[in-house]
Amino acid sequence: MSQREPPAADARHEIELIEACYAFPGDFELSVIARNDDATKKAVLEAAATAAGAPLAHEQKASGGGKYVSHRLRVRCVSAHEAQAVRARLRGLAGVMTVL
pLDDT digits (tens, 9 = 90+) for 45-90: 999 998 888 999 999 999 999 999 999 999 999 999 999 999 999 9
User: In which region does residue 53 sit, left (phi positive, over 0), alpha (psi from -120 to 50) or beta (all else)?
Assistant: left
pLDDT band for 8, please (50, 70, 90 cuts).
Answer: confident
3-state secondary structure of 3: coil
Cβ-contact 93, 40 below 8 angstroms? yes
Superfamily (CATH H level) for 24-99? ACT domain (3.30.70.260)
Cβ-contact 50, 86 below 8 angstroms? yes
Q: In 73-83, which positions are buried (b, 16+ CB within 10 angstroms) versus exposed (e)?
A: bebbbebbebb
pLDDT score recorded for residue 1 = 40
Give φ, ψ of 4 to 5 degrees. Answer: -75, 140
